[in-house]
Amino acid sequence: MNAIAFVHEQLSTKKEFPAFKAGDNITVNYKIIEGNKERIQSFKGDVIKKQGSGFTASFTVRKISDGVGVERVFPFASPNIDSVVLNKTGAVRRAKLFYQRSRSGKSARIREKRMAVSSEKAK
């Protein structure tokens, strides 16, 4: 039984993603396979929700493309996700931002959380 768990752990490599939550602006770089060619495409938008736990966990990213809202669900365990880059940290009070779907323009903006930076002088 222990050998089976070891083989499963070796085959399902766990990728390290930055700590992000709903309201954060991220860029997901994922692999697109067209025929026998493979390329990396980026999807930049706001995280609407994170759901699930363990191997079935996923997150939804929403962006506005040509005035139309586009949402995409990415599984955390997907081998097609190349990397996730955290662009901005949002200041929101909810874990699921479904109200963003009905908004457009300035009302759809998410405020950025200000981080405190220590100002120590280099010696």
- 64 closest CA partner among 97, 112, 101, 24: 101
- Report pLDDT for 40: 95
- Report pLDDT for 39: 95
Give the start-end residues of each E strand in the chain: 25-34, 37-51, 58-65, 68-75, 81-88
Residue 122 backbone dihedrals phi, psi, to 5 degrees: -75, 140
SS3 98: helix
Q: How confident is the model at residue 12 (pLDDT cuts 50, 70, 90)?
A: low
Looking at the predicted structure, is the pLDDT value of residue 84 above 90?
yes
